[in-house]
Chain A
Amino acid sequence: DQQVKQNSPSLSVQEGRISILNCDYTNSMFDYFLWYKKYPAEGPTFLISISSIKDKNEDGRFTVFLNKSAKHLSLHIVPSQPGDSAVYFCAASIQGGSEKLVFGKGMKLTVNP
Protein backbone atom coordinates (compact mmCIF):
# COMPACT_ATOMS: atom_id res chain seq x y z
CA ASP A 1 0.00 0.00 0.00
CA GLN A 2 1.56 3.24 -1.16
CA GLN A 3 1.33 5.82 1.59
CA VAL A 4 2.89 8.66 -0.41
CA LYS A 5 1.77 9.11 -3.98
CA GLN A 6 3.09 11.21 -6.81
CA ASN A 7 0.56 10.40 -9.45
CA SER A 8 2.13 12.25 -12.34
CA PRO A 9 5.35 10.61 -13.54
CA SER A 10 6.51 13.64 -15.46
CA LEU A 11 5.98 17.34 -16.07
CA SER A 12 7.34 19.61 -18.77
CA VAL A 13 7.31 23.40 -18.43
CA GLN A 14 8.81 26.36 -20.19
CA GLU A 15 11.68 28.28 -18.61
CA GLY A 16 10.40 31.20 -16.56
CA ARG A 17 6.99 29.65 -15.92
CA ILE A 18 5.74 28.04 -12.73
CA SER A 19 6.25 24.34 -12.05
CA ILE A 20 3.75 22.70 -9.70
CA LEU A 21 4.55 19.26 -8.38
CA ASN A 22 1.87 17.42 -6.44
CA CYS A 23 1.97 14.79 -3.74
CA ASP A 24 -0.80 12.99 -1.83
CA TYR A 25 -0.52 10.92 1.29
CA THR A 26 -2.81 8.48 3.05
CA ASN A 27 -1.38 8.19 6.56
CA SER A 28 -2.87 10.92 8.75
CA MET A 29 -0.08 10.36 11.27
CA PHE A 30 2.48 11.94 8.95
CA ASP A 31 3.42 15.35 10.26
CA TYR A 32 6.62 16.23 8.47
CA PHE A 33 7.00 16.45 4.72
CA LEU A 34 10.08 16.94 2.57
CA TRP A 35 10.95 17.45 -1.07
CA TYR A 36 14.16 16.10 -2.55
CA LYS A 37 15.62 16.74 -5.97
CA LYS A 38 17.68 14.07 -7.69
CA TYR A 39 19.92 14.17 -10.72
CA PRO A 40 20.80 10.87 -12.47
CA ALA A 41 23.43 8.79 -10.65
CA GLU A 42 23.55 11.24 -7.73
CA GLY A 43 22.08 11.19 -4.26
CA PRO A 44 18.86 13.09 -3.48
CA THR A 45 19.39 16.69 -2.44
CA PHE A 46 17.16 18.11 0.27
CA LEU A 47 15.17 21.04 -1.07
CA ILE A 48 12.53 22.17 1.37
CA SER A 49 10.32 20.80 4.09
CA ILE A 50 7.16 21.63 5.97
CA SER A 51 5.82 20.63 9.33
CA SER A 52 2.13 19.94 9.77
CA ILE A 53 1.74 22.98 12.03
CA LYS A 54 2.23 25.16 8.95
CA ASP A 55 0.44 25.35 5.63
CA LYS A 56 3.16 27.10 3.68
CA ASN A 57 6.93 27.29 3.68
CA GLU A 58 8.97 29.35 1.28
CA ASP A 59 12.65 29.31 0.37
CA GLY A 60 13.67 31.44 -2.56
CA ARG A 61 12.06 30.12 -5.73
CA PHE A 62 10.63 27.11 -3.89
CA THR A 63 7.38 27.11 -1.94
CA VAL A 64 5.69 24.09 -0.41
CA PHE A 65 1.99 24.16 0.43
CA LEU A 66 0.31 21.70 2.76
CA ASN A 67 -3.42 20.97 2.85
CA LYS A 68 -3.88 18.64 5.79
CA SER A 69 -7.58 18.11 5.31
CA ALA A 70 -6.99 16.94 1.75
CA LYS A 71 -3.77 15.11 2.68
CA HIS A 72 -2.11 16.93 -0.17
CA LEU A 73 1.05 18.92 -0.61
CA SER A 74 2.54 20.69 -3.55
CA LEU A 75 5.88 22.19 -4.49
CA HIS A 76 5.87 25.37 -6.53
CA ILE A 77 8.97 26.46 -8.39
CA VAL A 78 8.87 29.93 -9.83
CA PRO A 79 10.43 30.95 -12.06
CA SER A 80 11.48 27.54 -13.38
CA GLN A 81 15.00 27.21 -14.73
CA PRO A 82 16.57 24.56 -16.98
CA GLY A 83 18.80 23.53 -14.06
CA ASP A 84 15.66 22.52 -12.18
CA SER A 85 15.26 19.59 -14.57
CA ALA A 86 15.55 16.52 -12.34
CA VAL A 87 13.47 13.90 -10.57
CA TYR A 88 11.63 15.24 -7.53
CA PHE A 89 10.69 13.00 -4.63
CA CYS A 90 8.10 13.83 -2.03
CA ALA A 91 8.70 12.17 1.36
CA ALA A 92 6.83 12.03 4.64
CA SER A 93 7.57 10.98 8.18
CA ILE A 94 6.24 10.99 11.72
CA GLN A 95 8.33 13.24 13.94
CA GLY A 96 9.87 11.47 16.88
CA GLY A 97 8.56 8.23 15.51
CA SER A 98 10.46 5.41 13.90
CA GLU A 99 12.28 7.84 11.69
CA LYS A 100 11.39 6.16 8.44
CA LEU A 101 11.07 8.48 5.51
CA VAL A 102 8.36 7.22 3.20
CA PHE A 103 9.05 8.29 -0.36
CA GLY A 104 6.78 8.77 -3.32
CA LYS A 105 7.81 7.24 -6.63
CA GLY A 106 9.19 10.51 -7.93
CA MET A 107 8.30 12.85 -10.76
CA LYS A 108 10.54 13.90 -13.59
CA LEU A 109 10.51 17.64 -14.23
CA THR A 110 11.83 18.97 -17.51
CA VAL A 111 12.25 22.72 -17.91
CA ASN A 112 12.68 23.70 -21.52
CA PRO A 113 14.76 26.75 -22.45
Chain B
Amino acid sequence: DTEVTQTPKHLVMGMTNKKSLKCEQHMGHRAMYWYKQKAKKPPELMFVYSYEKLSINESVPSRFSPECPNSSLLNLHLHALQPEDSALYLCASSQDMTSGRAEAETQYFGPGTRLLVL
Protein backbone atom coordinates (compact mmCIF):
# COMPACT_ATOMS: atom_id res chain seq x y z
CA ASP B 1 0.00 0.00 0.00
CA THR B 2 1.50 3.30 -1.07
CA GLU B 3 -1.45 5.56 -0.37
CA VAL B 4 -1.20 9.13 0.75
CA THR B 5 -4.54 10.86 1.28
CA GLN B 6 -5.25 14.57 1.20
CA THR B 7 -8.29 16.61 2.18
CA PRO B 8 -10.01 18.60 0.95
CA LYS B 9 -9.78 17.80 -2.74
CA HIS B 10 -10.76 21.35 -3.68
CA LEU B 11 -10.71 24.56 -1.64
CA VAL B 12 -11.81 28.09 -2.45
CA MET B 13 -10.85 30.78 0.03
CA GLY B 14 -10.78 34.52 0.29
CA MET B 15 -7.65 36.47 1.09
CA THR B 16 -8.75 37.02 4.69
CA ASN B 17 -9.70 33.43 5.40
CA LYS B 18 -7.86 30.86 7.50
CA LYS B 19 -7.96 27.28 6.27
CA SER B 20 -5.97 24.08 6.64
CA LEU B 21 -4.92 21.33 4.29
CA LYS B 22 -4.54 17.85 5.69
CA CYS B 23 -2.40 14.91 4.65
CA GLU B 24 -2.33 11.41 6.06
CA GLN B 25 -0.31 8.26 5.44
CA HIS B 26 -0.32 4.93 7.23
CA MET B 27 2.75 3.39 5.64
CA GLY B 28 4.96 4.08 8.62
CA HIS B 29 6.88 6.66 6.64
CA ARG B 30 8.95 9.05 8.72
CA ALA B 31 9.49 11.79 6.16
CA MET B 32 6.64 13.95 4.84
CA TYR B 33 6.69 16.76 2.34
CA TRP B 34 4.59 19.65 1.07
CA TYR B 35 4.89 20.71 -2.55
CA LYS B 36 3.19 23.40 -4.60
CA GLN B 37 2.52 22.84 -8.28
CA LYS B 38 1.40 25.41 -10.82
CA ALA B 39 -0.01 24.41 -14.19
CA LYS B 40 2.54 23.01 -16.62
CA LYS B 41 5.32 23.27 -14.05
CA PRO B 42 7.07 20.63 -11.94
CA PRO B 43 6.28 20.36 -8.22
CA GLU B 44 8.15 22.87 -6.06
CA LEU B 45 9.25 21.75 -2.63
CA MET B 46 7.92 23.85 0.26
CA PHE B 47 8.59 21.95 3.50
CA VAL B 48 10.06 18.67 4.68
CA TYR B 49 9.42 16.97 8.00
CA SER B 50 11.69 14.20 9.15
CA TYR B 51 10.71 12.22 12.25
CA GLU B 52 8.07 14.88 12.98
CA LYS B 53 10.58 17.72 13.03
CA LEU B 54 10.75 20.43 10.40
CA SER B 55 13.84 19.67 8.40
CA ILE B 56 13.55 21.98 5.42
CA ASN B 57 11.71 25.23 4.79
CA GLU B 58 12.34 26.40 1.25
CA SER B 59 11.98 30.08 2.16
CA VAL B 60 8.21 29.80 2.07
CA PRO B 61 6.22 32.93 3.10
CA SER B 62 4.90 32.84 6.65
CA ARG B 63 1.31 32.85 5.43
CA PHE B 64 1.94 29.10 4.97
CA SER B 65 2.46 27.31 8.27
CA PRO B 66 3.17 23.57 8.37
CA GLU B 67 2.45 21.30 11.30
CA CYS B 68 3.20 17.63 11.93
CA PRO B 69 1.03 16.49 14.86
CA ASN B 70 2.25 12.89 14.63
CA SER B 71 4.10 10.57 12.31
CA SER B 72 1.03 9.93 10.16
CA LEU B 73 -0.35 13.42 9.78
CA LEU B 74 0.82 16.58 8.13
CA ASN B 75 -1.11 19.85 8.02
CA LEU B 76 -0.59 23.05 6.11
CA HIS B 77 -2.26 26.07 7.69
CA LEU B 78 -3.14 28.90 5.35
CA HIS B 79 -3.76 32.51 6.31
CA ALA B 80 -4.00 35.73 4.34
CA LEU B 81 -3.12 34.08 1.05
CA GLN B 82 -2.78 35.90 -2.23
CA PRO B 83 -4.41 35.00 -5.55
CA GLU B 84 -0.99 33.96 -6.88
CA ASP B 85 -0.96 31.21 -4.22
CA SER B 86 -3.67 29.41 -6.18
CA ALA B 87 -2.17 26.06 -7.17
CA LEU B 88 -2.26 22.31 -6.60
CA TYR B 89 -0.80 21.52 -3.19
CA LEU B 90 0.75 18.10 -2.97
CA CYS B 91 1.73 16.06 0.03
CA ALA B 92 4.27 13.26 -0.25
CA SER B 93 5.92 10.78 2.09
CA SER B 94 8.92 8.48 2.10
CA GLN B 95 10.18 5.83 4.50
CA ASP B 96 13.15 7.89 5.49
CA MET B 97 15.13 10.69 3.95
CA THR B 98 18.53 10.03 5.41
CA SER B 99 18.93 6.27 5.14
CA GLY B 100 21.00 6.31 2.00
CA ARG B 101 18.83 3.49 0.67
CA ALA B 102 17.15 4.31 -2.60
CA GLU B 103 13.91 2.50 -1.84
CA ALA B 104 13.53 4.29 1.49
CA GLU B 105 13.87 7.67 -0.17
CA THR B 106 11.27 7.15 -2.88
CA GLN B 107 8.55 9.74 -2.40
CA TYR B 108 4.89 8.81 -2.83
CA PHE B 109 2.46 11.60 -3.57
CA GLY B 110 -1.12 12.19 -2.58
CA PRO B 111 -3.78 13.34 -5.05
CA GLY B 112 -3.38 16.97 -4.06
CA THR B 113 -5.66 19.80 -2.98
CA ARG B 114 -6.65 22.23 -5.71
CA LEU B 115 -6.62 25.66 -4.03
CA LEU B 116 -8.19 28.78 -5.46
CA VAL B 117 -7.64 32.08 -3.67
CA LEU B 118 -10.07 34.84 -4.59
Contact = CB atoms under 8 A, between A and B. Distances in A.
Interface of A: 32, 34, 36, 41-46, 49, 51, 89, 93, 95-96, 98-101, 103-106
B105 A51 contact: no
A43 B106 contact: no
Contacts of A100: 45, 48, 56
Interface of B: 2, 4, 6, 31, 40-43, 45, 48, 50, 55-56, 88, 90, 92, 94, 97-102, 105-112, 114
Contacts of B98: 96, 99
Contacts of B110: 43
A41 B112 contact: yes
A101 B56 CA distance: 12
B105 A36 contact: no
Contact of B41 (A43, A46, A98, A105): A105
23 contacts: A34-B106, A36-B109, A41-B88, A43-B6, A43-B109, A43-B110, A46-B108, A49-B106, A51-B102, A89-B42, A95-B102, A99-B48, A99-B56, A99-B94, A100-B56, A101-B45, A101-B107, A103-B42, A104-B42, A105-B41, A105-B42, A106-B40, A106-B41
A42 B106 CA distance: 18
